[in-house]
Amino acid sequence: MAEAVKISELRPGIGNVTISGEVTAKEEPREVVTKYGKKVRVANAVLKDDSGEITLSLWEDDVDKLNVGDKISIENGWVSEFKGNLQVSIGKYGKLTML
């Protein structure tokens, strides 16, 4: 497993990132339509470590896996920026693990 980086070190466009933290908040899931016309479920959560916090985008099955208070690790995550805020997603090749 790759060395975990601190949330405060994350920048937009970084891929293949490993981070760990605690889920401190989770929004209700909503449905969005992808650019291919498929309806998918998405929910935002907040992931926090001792250096800061970041929005975690949860897609489809991952929406139901996490609850507030869960400690998780994300391997091969992708960092992007949405409306001026950093966010991390697990993406197609990433892995979410409960700690």
Kindly state whether residue 2 falls inside one of the protein's structural domains: no
pLDDT at 78: 95
Mean pLDDT of the chain: 94
pLDDT tier at 1, thresholds 50, 70, 90: low
In this structure, what CATH number is given to the domain that contains residue 26?
2.40.50.140
pLDDT tier at 3, thresholds 50, 70, 90: confident
* Whether this model's pTM surpasses 0.85: yes
pLDDT tier at 23, thresholds 50, 70, 90: very high
Indicate the number of domains in the chain: 1
| Phi/psi at 63 (5° precision) | -55, -40
Its domain, for residue 55, covers: 7-98
